[in-house]
Structure 1
Amino acid sequence: MAAHREAAHRKPRQRLFTGPAARRAATLALAGAAAATVLDGAAQADPRLTPAQVEAKVDRLYHDAEVATEEYNGAKERSAEAERSLDALRDEAARGTERLNAARDALGAFAAAQYRSAGIDPAVRLALSSDPDQYLERASFEDRAGDRQAGALNGVRRQAADLARLRARAQGELAVLAARRADLEQHKDAVRTKLADARRLLATLTAAQRADYERSADAAHGGSGVRADRGTPRGSVAAPNARAAQAVAFAYGALGKPYVWGASGPASFDCSGLTQAAWRAAGISLPRTTYTQINAGRRVARSELVPGDLVFFYSGVTHVGLYIGGGQMIHAPRPGAPVRIAPISQMPFAGATRVA
């Protein structure tokens, strides 16, 4: 028995973690398991992508980023509309509060005056009056004033109810605005993620491979052969009217400016930002996104295009350019590619709209 106690004494005791120590131990164990999983997954990952596969993935990421950019632009526009609506409701509520306070003040003053004069019985006032006719005239006036007071009271009640409804609507708009802003952040994160993924993939290429990719991307979006700077002479096809000519002139003036997602000028543009800014310079307001701009005018066939028409691409209507004649357009292609002239045949044509 003593030997057993001695052996038990020599055997190291295992301490159990409790409280914070237990949580730290569990966290470290989970982290270690996760790291092992990641390393195991990396060991079993697909072989390194070929340059052609990288380029194809980058093209797809840029296209997805443009889709997300247009969704971001739409969310931004909806957020701005909700903010304007909320501001208008708040202004209206403020004016309603001022009117209600003024009506309450007037009603209070009337009630105070009535209280001060209510202590004399009407019969006594008639007996004391030196001019009964004048008293009766005054009494009739006071009856009418009482009717006005009742009307004023009802008016105050109506104004208070209207103000309560306005404030309820403002609270609703505030909730809408919060949702719009959350949607905006979600689309912003999507664009940033797509572009970051594209940059990481491009970084796996050699300098020569990246240069080859840029040259091929330029060619796909209207590269060296049709790229132009601001001094490029205008095409021979005349715009159909003065406003279309102004829009085209603006687009020529934007040549060479950088593509920046979410931008609508004056220093940088995305695709729909450029067309919106061009037509704004001509005095016409276009909506912000490709999928709303396509419905902003009269649809025209590809064979009927004239300078100033908006030309749209891809099945989701995710890219737009401004037609300048001769089968060419000016557009903001993608990150890293400035505003340039390109043939409309380089992308899947989705439709065209004539603004004016």
Structure 2
Amino acid sequence: MAAHRRPRKRHAGNGTAARTAVTLTLAGAATATGLGGTGHADPEPTPAQIKAEVDELYREAEAATEQYNGAEEKADAAERRLEDLRDEVARKEQRLNTTREALGSVAAAQYRGGGLDPALQLVLSSDPEQYLRGAALVERAGSRQTAAVGRARTELREIEQLRGAARIELASLRSRRAEAERHRETVTGKLEAARRLLSRLTAEERARLIPGPERATRASGAREGLAASAQAPGPRAAAAVAYAYQKLGSPYVWGATGPNAFDCSGLTQAAYRAAGVSLPRTTYAQIGAGHRVSRSELAPGDLVFFYSGISHVGIYVGDGMMIHAPNPSAPVRLAPVDQMPFAGATRVV
């Protein structure tokens, strides 16, 4: 019988009440979020908060810089391997050509003598692979010809293997370059964000919050450098310390390894390069380049590392101090080792 029921009448008041409720809700939301003109915007960050955020951006940029350095190092190695493979292919092709020329001389002599061996006909054909497929005919050639044909077979096979390896290396090179470019974009993005934040500070605030250039410049630090070098455990460590003192005041430039600008691992690599020691490019590789020492055992020339991701490095110079390339806001400078979270130390030599 429900089919005969009349539909219930809708009262106009119900819709009005609903609309009124929604209006009141939106009005309350607008007030709560400031849309109604009576709310409060988020307070501007204090200079100290801006400084903390800038420091974090610099730290993240430095971690990305080390990843970029690592990708570039691997790309450079892949490029060198690719060039070596191409050189080896060229050498083997030259040897193959020499072998074919020798076989051609034999063939010409046979032809003048009244006949051309079928095996040599295949070798001298425009398709040497056809010759290789006709290996059974090689047995009909003389011993010298058989040896030459065998060399040709081996050389062709090796050339194809090298070409395959070169194709793989080329793909690796392209991948490493793309990886480096991604890290480059991350670094530049972080540094640009830091620059925008710093532009919100007045000159007075920046001077108060961000340390100026290290007072110990190359000239004034020479005496301290001699003293620190004298305490180093060996001549190479002493030379690395002396180099670091000479570079005080040099600008920080991400990806730079000297001689006039550095990032953190670029400075330590350059210091030991000047001392005749080859270090890896990145912080996370440099920490494994020597033998580990505890903080209490630190001596001038030791590499000191910071943060859990091993994203920063300096060179210890004694008395709880190090020389490092901090970030774009500060040049190469002296700083206390306890300025950052200590992660470990390595004695290179």
Which amino acid is 1:205 matched to? L
> In 2, distance between residues paired with 1:66 and 1:254?
20
| Aligned-partner Cα distance in 1 for 2:157–2:253 | 48
For residues 289-316 of structure 1, the C-alpha deviation after alignment (integer angstroms, 9 at most, x for no partner) is: 0000000000001111111110111111
Partner in structure 2 of residue 337 of structure 1: 330
- Pick one of 286, 301, 307 that aligns with 1:314: 307
Provide the residue aligned with 1:104 in structure 2: 100
One-letter amino acid matched to 1:249: A
Q: Secondary structure, in 3 states, of the residue corresponding to 2:249?
A: coil
Letter of the structure 1 residue corresponding to residue 288 of structure 2: N
How far, CA to CA, are the matches of 2:196 and 2:185 in structure 1?
A: 16
Which residue of structure 2 aligns with residue 146 of structure 1? 142
Give 1:62's aligned amino acid.
Y
Q: Distance in 1 between matches of 2:113 and 2:44?
A: 98
Aligned length: 285
1:194 and 1:58 map into 2 onto residues whose CA distance is: 9
TM-score by length of 1: 0.76
Which of 177, 192, 200 aligns to 2:196? It is 200
3-state secondary structure, aligned to 2:198: helix
- What's the CA shift for 1:214? 1.2
Aligned to 2:14: none
Q: Deviations over 1:167-203 (max 9, x none)?
A: 1111111111000110111111111000000001111
Instruction: Determine the C-alpha separation between the residues in 2 that align with 1:256 and 1:278.
Output: 15
Superposition deviation, residue 159 in structure 1: 0.3
Task: Note the alpha carbon deviations across 1:109-154, whole angstroms, 9 max, x for none.
Answer: 111211221359xxxxxxxxxxxxxxxxxxxxxx998111011111
Letter in 2 for 1:166: L
Q: Distance in 2 between matches of 1:49 and 1:306?
A: 41
Q: Output the CA distance in 2 between the equivalents of 1:53 and 1:307.
A: 35
Residue in 2 aligned with 1:177? Answer: 173
| Aligned residue in 1 for 2:224 | 234
Give runs of aligned pairs for residues 271-310 of structure 1, distance below 5 A: 271-310=264-303
1:48 equivalent among 36, 44, 56: 44
Alignment of structure 1 residues 97-136 onto 2, 5 Å: 97-119=93-115
1:82 matched residue in structure 2: 78
2:249: which partner in 1? 256
Q: Distance in 1 between matches of 2:313 and 2:270?
A: 13
Q: After TM superposition, list the pairs within 5 Å mapping 1:209-248 onto structure 2.
A: 209-215=205-211, 227-231=215-219, 232=221, 233-234=223-224, 236-237=227-228, 238-248=231-241
- Distance in 1, matches of 2:154 and 2:257, equals 46
- The alignment partner of 1:59 has SS state of helix
* Separation in 2, partners of 1:108, 1:49: 84
Q: What amino acid does structure 1 have at the position aligned with 2:269? A: Q
Whole-Å separation in 1 of the counterparts to 2:49 and 2:232: 42
> Structure 2: 5+ residue runs without aligned partners?
1-34, 117-138
Instruction: Report the alpha carbon displacement of residue 44 of structure 1 after superposing the two structures with TM.
Output: 11
Q: CA deviation at 1:56?
A: 1.5
Rounded to whole Å, the distance in 1 between the matches of 2:115 and 2:176 is 61
Q: Once superposed, what is the RMSD of the aligned Cα atoms?
A: 2.2
Question: 1:277 deviation in Å?
Answer: 0.5
The residue that corresponds to 2:186 in the other structure is: 190
SS in 2 for 1:247: helix
Runs of 4+ in 1 over 4 A off after TM superposition: 43-47
Change (3 A) 1:345 1:92: same
TM-score, length basis structure 2: 0.78
Q: Partner of 1:164 in structure 2?
A: 160
Q: Distance in 1 between matches of 2:232 and 2:270?
A: 18
Change (3 A) 1:247 1:198: same
Alignment-derived partner of residue 132 in structure 1 = none
CA displacement at 1:50 relative to structure 2: 2.8
